[in-house]
């Protein structure tokens, strides 16, 4: 506390107070009225105000209210000088913004003690203000960093979504629709397909452990191993003598991925995978289920069947063996490959949807097809969970098999 403003309509009283204050080392300003004092405070707020209560024009109480209304960043300590000692009057002064009271005539020792108390309060307030300024500055820096990170994550989301380049493909004898919806900006789910020779396609669904950027980076790397545009880099394909490509048996592809993951890629992640080799001419599908949820067959007659036995995730156990199995789709049947973000979606009572709930849900959507079916599935999940923000990534691939034909991929 360095500057003190003395406000009193009595020149004698001002001179007495100023004499003590200057002796104690304060820089003292003075004003003979509340209006003059308010003008001084607008230009340069004092650390301490020592004001008489009873003054003509603007009373000390009115001046105190106006002083507080100025809203200076640094707090000014306000002492009212008064002959009023009733509790109601004191309460009125406190309500107006006064911090302390002194009874006139002022005792120098008491004045010095009250100023010392005010100095302690001012010191704590300014320390708090400085800390608040530091916190505010830090928060602004963090907000800038967050905005930059958020912008990067939005771009990363676009890049990840671009990995699913063709959300809908008309294959002549069948239609393939893909859904990818991350719980955050980016996620660990990925679905896709690739041509695998005449009347053959490969379909895959991946769910990398964890969430966020590291999982998303792993999905991007896996997408390269199952590329639809560079068959020479796709490990699910093998070259034929004529210069073409044919599908590698799914169990061999998954075993190869497991060896690569454990031997070449240094990461704590693992992933579940469902890899399907689809013969479009016959409707026969050979799949490997490596820890991924059991896919559902939506029969034309309305029944729903879940197939597969589970299997081990990829990247957990060296030398793991993977079993493949066959299913056959009849004309009008559909195959739904989905991530655990669908089956493990919970309602308000924390109950999971499960296979039975999913079967009932997709049965109610059997009139929808393709992308409309998948979008309707997401809406149904939102109704079940009573929120459109899911805790886990949601992804799916839907194959609508229309029947034999000669068209290829």
| Cβ neighbours around 325 below 10 Å, total | 15
Cα torsion for 352, 353, 357, 363, to the nearest 10°? 180
Buried b (16+ CB within 10 A) or exposed e, 287-298: bbbbbbbbbbbb
Tokens representing 150 are 């958020």
pLDDT recorded at residue 389: 86
CATH 3.60.40.10 fits 163-401, yes or no: yes
The CATH number corresponding to 3-131 among 3.40.50.10490, 3.30.930.10, 3.40.309.10, 3.40.50.2300 equals: 3.40.50.2300
pLDDT recorded at residue 133: 86
Q: Which of 335, 283, 332 is nearest to 308 (CA)?
A: 335
Residue 66 near residue 59 (C-beta atoms within 8 A): no
Residue 264 near residue 218 (C-beta atoms within 8 A): no
The H or E element containing residue 111 is helix 108-162
Whether the full predicted model's pTM is greater than 0.75, yes or no, is no
Rounded CA Rg of the chain: 38
pLDDT recorded at residue 409: 38
pLDDT tens track, the chain, 409 positions: 789 999 999 999 999 999 999 999 999 999 999 999 999 999 999 999 999 998 999 999 999 999 999 988 788 899 998 876 667 777 888 888 898 888 888 889 999 998 998 888 888 888 888 888 889 888 888 888 877 777 766 666 667 667 676 889 999 999 999 999 888 777 788 999 999 988 899 999 999 987 777 788 888 888 889 988 889 999 999 998 888 889 999 999 999 999 988 887 667 789 999 999 999 999 999 999 999 999 999 999 899 999 998 899 999 899 899 999 999 999 999 999 999 999 999 999 999 999 999 999 999 998 999 999 999 999 999 999 999 888 888 999 999 999 864 344 3
pLDDT recorded at residue 407: 41
Q: Is the dihedral of CA 147, 148, 153, 155 positive or negative?
A: positive
Q: In the chain, count of helices (H) and strands (E)?
A: 10, 18
pLDDT recorded at residue 156: 64
| Cβ neighbours around 316 below 10 Å, total | 15
Report how far apart, in Å, the C-alpha atoms of 328 and of each of 136, 290, 343 are. Answer: 63, 20, 23
pLDDT recorded at residue 152: 64
Q: How far apart are CA 315 and CA 272, in angstroms?
A: 9
Cα torsion for 258, 260, 262, 264, to the nearest 10°? -170
Q: How far apart are CA 88 and CA 290, in angstroms?
A: 79
pLDDT recorded at residue 219: 86
Q: How far apart are CA 390 and CA 382, in angstroms?
A: 8
Compute CA 373 distance to the chain's CA centroid, rounded to the nearest angstrom: 28
The H or E element containing residue 193 is strand 189-195
Q: Taking the domains of the chain in order of start, what are their residue ranges?
A: 3-131, 163-401
């Amino acid at each position: 506390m360095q500057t003190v403003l003395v406000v009193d309509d009595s020149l004698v009283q001002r001179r007495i107070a100023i004499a003590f204050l200057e002796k104690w080392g304060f820089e003292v300003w003075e004003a003979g009225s509340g209006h003059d004092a308010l003008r001084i405070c607008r230009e340069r707020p004092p650390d301490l105000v020592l004001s008489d209560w009873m003054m003509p024009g603007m009373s000390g109480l009115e001046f105190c209210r106006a002083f507080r209304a100025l809203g200076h960043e640094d707090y000014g300590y306000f002492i009212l000088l008064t002959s009023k000692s009733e509790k109601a009057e004191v309460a009125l002064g406190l309500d107006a913004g006064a911090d302390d009271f002194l009874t006139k005539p002022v005792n120098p020792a008491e004045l010095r003690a009250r100023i010392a108390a005010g100095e302690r309060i001012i010191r704590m307030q300014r320390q708090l203000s400085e800390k608040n300024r530091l916190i505010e500055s830090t928060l602004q820096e963090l907000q800038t960093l967050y905005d930059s990170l958020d912008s990067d994550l939005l771009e990363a989301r676009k890049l990840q979504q671009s990995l699913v380049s063709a959300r809908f493909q008309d294959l002549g004898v069948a239609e393939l629709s893909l859904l990818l919806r991350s719980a955050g900006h980016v996620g660990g789910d990925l679905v896709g397909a690739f041509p695998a020779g005449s009347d053959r396609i490969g379909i895959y669904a991946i769910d990398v452990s964890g969430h966020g950027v590291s999982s998303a980076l792993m999905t991007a790397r896996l997408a390269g191993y199952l590329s639809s545009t560079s068959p020479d880099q796709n490990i699910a394909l093998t070259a034929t003598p004529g210069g073409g490509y044919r599908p590698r048996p799914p169990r061999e592809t998954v075993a190869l991925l497991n060896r690569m993951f454990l031997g070449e890629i240094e990461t704590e992640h693992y992933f579940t995978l469902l890899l399907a080799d689809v013969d479009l001419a016959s409707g026969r599908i050979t799949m490997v289920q490596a820890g991924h949820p059991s896919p559902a067959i939506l029969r034309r007659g309305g029944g729903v069947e879940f197939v597969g036995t589970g299997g081990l995730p990829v990247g957990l156990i060296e030398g793991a063996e993977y079993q493949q199995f066959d299913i056959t789709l009849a004309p009008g049947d559909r195959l739904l490959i989905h991530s655990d973000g669908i089956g493990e979606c919970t309602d308000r009572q924390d109950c999971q949807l499960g296979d039975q709930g999913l079967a009932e849900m997709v049965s109610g959507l059997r009139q929808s097809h393709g992308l409309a079916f998948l979008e309707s599935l997401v809406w149904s999940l939102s109704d079940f969970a009573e929120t459109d923000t899911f805790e886990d990534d949601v992804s799916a691939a839907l194959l609508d098999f229309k029947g034999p034909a000669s068209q290829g991929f």
